[in-house]
């Protein structure tokens, strides 16, 4: 991360994260490994380690609305918002610090998960953690304490929330951009696209252990994804 940050000064979010990193980081599970999605490994090394680097599935039993134009209708779920949630997981927005029953391990996102109101990295399962890019000095958002530890608690309308409601439009936010930049992605303005484009840039070379995860709009389970393998 330090080497990448030095060679990509335009990513000021990562520069801040790196400059505030503690001297050492301990893993609650005893493992010193860091992991990244398989797709990121392939992008970094130009080596494909499998036919599929990541996938996201969407359940058919939900009232999906596939366009955000005019807002999301009552009773419908924002397909674009849910897709943003799952695809960014595949791009590295994951925290496996407290995964059970497997041995927990750290990801880059765990380096921006601080105890709220503290400059100490979060290391206690079930405790409240906040997203901070300056070593815990400023808390930008609160992570969900009851769902996926990489998701937000829903204080604002954000596609990174642990739960999403029907009839609500979820678009990429400046907070979401900062979170993706904090794990190594750089915003691109070179190619005009309808939305945010990320360019890879992380100096880790490990991959995420495969698992299934579920995004929960309301009480259902309409989306899931397997996003890597271990090394």
Confidence at residue 33, expressed as pLDDT on a 0 to 100 scale: 67
Instruction: Specify the pTM.
Output: 0.79
In a domain, 231, yes or no: no
In a domain, 15, yes or no: yes
In a domain, 197, yes or no: yes
Q: Is pLDDT of 206 > 50?
A: no
Confidence at residue 145, expressed as pLDDT on a 0 to 100 scale: 84
In a domain, 40, yes or no: yes
Q: In this structure, are strands 223-226 and 213-217 parallel, antiparallel, or unpaired? A: antiparallel
What number is the average pLDDT over the span 172-177? 96
Tokens standing for residue 86: 């799952």
Confidence at residue 179, expressed as pLDDT on a 0 to 100 scale: 95
Q: How confident is the model at residue 59 (pLDDT cuts 50, 70, 90)?
A: confident
- In sequence order, the β-bridge partners of residue 217 are 164
In a domain, 209, yes or no: yes
The string of DSSP letters for 155-189 reads SS--TTBSEE-TT------HHHHHHHHHTT-EE--
In a domain, 155, yes or no: yes
Identify the residue with better confidence: 224 or 44: 44
Spatial neighbors of 127 by CB under 8 A, at least 6 apart, are 115, 145
Give the whole-angstrom CA distance, residue 135 versus residue 127. 18
Confidence at residue 15, expressed as pLDDT on a 0 to 100 scale: 93
Question: pLDDT digit string (tens) for 112-126?
Answer: 999 999 999 987 767
In a domain, 92, yes or no: yes
Q: In this structure, are strands 213-217 and 141-142 parallel, antiparallel, or unpaired? A: unpaired
Domain range for 60: 2-226
Judge contact between 143 and 94, C-beta under 8 A. no
Confidence at residue 28, expressed as pLDDT on a 0 to 100 scale: 60
Lowest-pLDDT choice from 2-16, 52-66, 191-205: 191-205
The string of DSSP letters for 63-87 reads -EE---TT-PPTT-EEHHHHHHHHH
In a domain, 56, yes or no: yes
Domains in the chain, number: 1
């Amino acid at each position: 991360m330090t080497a990448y940050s030095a060679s990509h000064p335009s990513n000021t979010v990562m520069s801040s994260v790196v400059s505030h990193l503690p001297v050492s980081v301990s893993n609650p599970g005893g493992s010193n490994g860091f992991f990244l999605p398989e797709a990121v490994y392939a992008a970094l090394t130009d080596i494909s380690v499998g036919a599929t680097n990541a996938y996201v599935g969407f359940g058919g039993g939900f009232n999906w609305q596939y366009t955000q134009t005019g807002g999301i209708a009552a009773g419908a779920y924002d397909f674009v918002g849910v897709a943003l949630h799952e695809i960014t997981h595949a791009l590295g927005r994951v925290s496996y610090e407290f995964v059970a029953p497997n041995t927990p391990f750290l990801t880059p996102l765990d380096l921006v998960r601080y105890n709220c109101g503290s400059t100490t990295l979060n290391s206690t399962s079930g405790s409240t953690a906040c997203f901070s890019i300056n070593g815990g000095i400023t808390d930008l958002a609160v992570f969900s304490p009851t769902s996926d530890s990489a998701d937000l608690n829903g204080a604002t309308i954000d596609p990174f929330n642990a739960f999403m409601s029907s009839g609500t439009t979820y678009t990429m936010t400046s907070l979401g951009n900062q979170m993706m930049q904090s794990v190594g992605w750089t915003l691109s303005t070179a190619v005009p696209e309808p939305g945010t484009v990320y360019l890879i840039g992380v100096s880790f070379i490990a991959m995420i252990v495969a698992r299934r995860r579920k995004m929960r709009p309301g009480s259902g389970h309409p989306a899931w994804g397997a996003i890597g393998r271990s090394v």
